[in-house]
Amino acid sequence: MRKRKWGAALLCAALLAALLPAAAQAEDVTIDETNFPDAAFREYVGRVCDSDGNKVLSAEEIGKVEGMLLIYGLTTGSKIESLKGIEYFTALTELRCSNNELTELDVTQNTALTDLNCSENELTELDVTKNTALTELRCSDNALTELDVSKNTALTSLNCSYNALTELDVSQNTALTYLGCYSNELTALDVSKNTALTDLSCYSNELTALDVSQNTALTRLDCSDTALTELDVSKNTELEHLWCNDNALTALDVSKNTALERLYCYNNALTALDVSKNTALTRLDCNNNALTALDLSQNTKLTYLNCSGQQAAETRVLQQADGSGRADLSSLVPGWPGAQGVQVQGGTLEADGSTVVWDGKTSPVTVSYAYRTGYQAVTMAAMLRVYFNSGSRPVFTQPAGAQTVTVQEGETGVLRAAATDALVYQWYVNRNDGAGYVAVSGATGATYTTGAATVENDGYTYYCEATNAFGTTSSPVFTLRVTAEPEPVPETGDGSDPALWLALALLSLCGLGALTFDRRRGAARR
């Protein structure tokens, strides 16, 4: 019985002796090319993580590594191409490996990560679904086409700019205070669930709309260089900095943004800008818009102003039933500056300095003028266009009736129309495809030239609309007729005439028959 017990004990001891070295070996990681293929990363691990210098990482040494700063020129001698081996460091909370040459990055085993910066690499994919503890993620300047951050609910800061993202779902990232997704290919961005946002940078995308009504904590908003036609910032009362330049905005209400210090709204189509409530403004750039007035008398803290390059101007259509063609500029332009520096085209300015008289030839009358902004005696150029109108809709004088325009295949057709008192023209086409008449893109002149016609275009119909302040009139219909290019007529004697070919064939047969008959007669004589 004792022998059996001792035998069992010895057997257990032997098994333990055999297993323990193997377990210990499994916990150790040799610093070699197999575990760390990249020479720069391998050198860093050996120098920073191998405390005893034996070229083997013990479990204790691995467990002590909570942060890695892999910075070229500072902590590494060359740029890293692979971070294979990073999976051993499961205690990592911070990994900064930006400005390297990584094409892949596997951090699925680094579940303790709270801060990951892998910007300025060559990554095409990045899986962070296992990194649920992340609070800060920077993956900008890569080649990512998609990014799933739905599992990263602890994120407070996300910068995924300068990639090729077409979609970005941040609905689960309700703790976000900073979102930088600029310079991507986003066509839509929903930030309605990100109510904690204080800084949103989504510029240089393809956004046509942006709703920030739920982001009441915003202090910085940069939505410049997109395709916005509208922007409502009335709920963003904490805004201090706003960039909405390089869009297609025609209006911008910043009356509720009394904390604004910087406003950049240049390169839009703003016809008015009221900054009287923005008394904290220190910088304002509104150049290249269509402003005709700008009052800066309340903006006493301004240190920088650019309001140059105002392009289009305010347009007024005046009903002149009596045909007088006169307009009082002082009533059209609030705070009319007077005659000084005024230039008039298509009319004259009377001696009173405020009455412009139409010459009856050129429409509209264009009045250019300059005025003081109220800010350090800064002057601003503006323009007013005045259309004198009898009070009726446009009347087409050309064509007098329906027309047919005939062209040969491959040629263009020219359609001409003219209407009195017209401000805007628009051509329409019916391609006989069941869609009816549709507007022709870019066809906004009195004359429209079709593209090179094909036989498929035969029967297309067109008409033109002329519009002014009093209504729209349609022209008579133009019908396009396309004739096929005629076949070339062969010249006489070129051998292509069938009758000529038949005659030649008959003559040849007759000659051959005569020759045969003569040969037979000769043979009979012999």
List the alpha helices (DSSP H) in 425-497.
Answer: none
- Establish how many alpha carbons lie within 13 A of residue 261's alpha carbon, considering only the half-sphere containing its beta carbon: 5
CATH classification of the domain holding 294: 3.80.10.10
Same domain, 35 and 101: yes
Same domain, 350 and 405: no
Residue 330 lies in a domain: yes
For residue 405, report the phi and psi dihedrals to the nearest 5 degrees.
-110, 115
- With a cut of 90, say whether residue 436 has pLDDT above it: yes
Residue 176 lies in a domain: no
Stretch among 93-97, 365-369, 446-450, 493-497 having the lowest mean pLDDT: 493-497
If you average pLDDT over each of 8-22, 156-170, 418-432, which comes out highest? 156-170
For residue 379, report the phi and psi dihedrals to the nearest 5 degrees.
-100, 150
Residue 11 lies in a domain: no
Residue range of the domain that includes 408: 395-483
* C-alpha to C-alpha distances, 111 to 92, 119, 132, 172, nearest whole angstrom: 8, 19, 7, 19
Same domain, 118 and 219: no
Question: How much of the chain exceeds pLDDT 70, in percent?
Answer: 83
Same domain, 208 and 285: yes
Query: In this predicted structure, what is the pLDDT of residue 514?
Result: 43
Residue 524 lies in a domain: no
- Establish how many alpha carbons lie within 13 A of residue 257's alpha carbon, considering only the half-sphere containing its beta carbon: 25
Same domain, 351 and 225: no
Residue 258 lies in a domain: yes
Predicted confidence (pLDDT) per residue in 320-378, tens digit: 655 568 888 888 877 787 777 788 888 899 989 889 888 877 667 888 887 777 777 67
* pTM score, whole prediction: 0.67
Task: Tally the domains of the chain.
Answer: 4
For residue 357, report the phi and psi dihedrals to the nearest 5 degrees.
-115, 125
Query: Is residue 40 classed as helix, strand or coil in its secondary structure?
Result: helix
Q: Compare 323 and 417 and report the one with higher pLDDT.
A: 417
Same domain, 52 and 149: yes
196, 100, 207: which is closest to 157 by C-alpha? 196
If you average pLDDT over each of 61-75, 176-190, 398-412, 464-478, which comes out highest? 176-190
Query: In this predicted structure, what is the pLDDT of residue 204?
Result: 97
Choosing from 354, 370, 389, the residue where a domain stops is 389
- With a cut of 60, say whether residue 50 has pLDDT above it: yes
Sign of the CA dihedral running 514, 515, 516, 520: positive
Question: How much of the chain exceeds pLDDT 90, in percent?
Answer: 62
Same domain, 235 and 327: no
> 17: exposed, middle or buried (C-beta count within 10 Å: 0-12, 13-18, 19+)?
exposed
Q: Which helix (H) or strand (E) holds 2?
A: helix 2-27
Query: In this predicted structure, what is the pLDDT of residue 360?
Result: 73
Any residues with CB less than 8 A from the CB of 479 and at least 6 apart, and which? 402, 403, 404, 405, 459, 460, 461
CATH classification of the domain holding 411: 2.60.40.10
**pLDDT band at 106, cuts 50/70/90?**
very high
Choosing from 280, 311, 342, the residue where a domain stops is 311
For residue 95, report the phi and psi dihedrals to the nearest 5 degrees.
-135, 115
Predicted confidence (pLDDT) per residue in 23-36, tens digit: 333 489 999 999 99
Beta strand residue intervals within 226-325, DSSP E: 241-243, 262-264, 283-285, 304-306, 314-319
Same domain, 255 and 139: no
Mean confidence (pLDDT) of the chain:
85
Tell me how many degrees the CA angle 325-328-330 measures, rounded to the nearest 5: 160
> 112: exposed, middle or buried (C-beta count within 10 Å: 0-12, 13-18, 19+)?
middle
Residue 504 lies in a domain: no
Residue 34 lies in a domain: yes
Residue 323 lies in a domain: yes
Query: In this predicted structure, what is the pLDDT of residue 313?
Result: 54
- With a cut of 70, say whether residue 517 has pLDDT above it: no
Query: In this predicted structure, what is the pLDDT of residue 383?
Result: 76
How would you classify residue 311: left for phi > 0, otherwise alpha for psi between -120 and 50, otherwise beta? alpha
Query: Is residue 387 classed as helix, strand or coil in its secondary structure?
Result: strand
Q: Do residues 443 and 415 make contact, with C-beta atoms less than 8 angstroms apart?
A: no
Same domain, 32 and 45: yes
Largest CA distance in the chain: 146
